Amino acid sequence: MSSERFLKEVQAIGEKFLLKLQKLPKAEPVEIVSFSVVLLFIVTVLVLTIIACSCCCCSCCGCDGRPDPRHRKSQVRPAAR
């Protein structure tokens, strides 16, 4: 997918979202609740993704940006006889 087409898709989704927000005060209660549930789901997924990525980065590199020596892989060699 080209970046131009992707930008058009994102713009179309944004326009639909804004149109939905503009119609929301006049909507029925069921529609308001369903829109809120979908919005809550999207926010939850984004927050969980950010938490997962930050935990992964912190466990690999530590908070100071250096690799954590405890997580270094070591090679196991057979015992000498």
Q: Where are the domains positioned within the chain?
A: 1-58
pLDDT confidence of residue 80: 75
Q: Find all residues with CB under 8 Å of 62, minimum gap 6, and list them.
A: 68
CA–CA separation, 27 vs 7, rounded Å? 29
CB atoms < 10 A from the CB of 36, how many?
Answer: 11
Average confidence (pLDDT) per 10 residues, the chain, 81 residues: 87 90 88 90 93 75 58 70 70
CA–CA separation, 71 vs 55, rounded Å? 14
CA–CA separation, 53 vs 72, rounded Å? 20
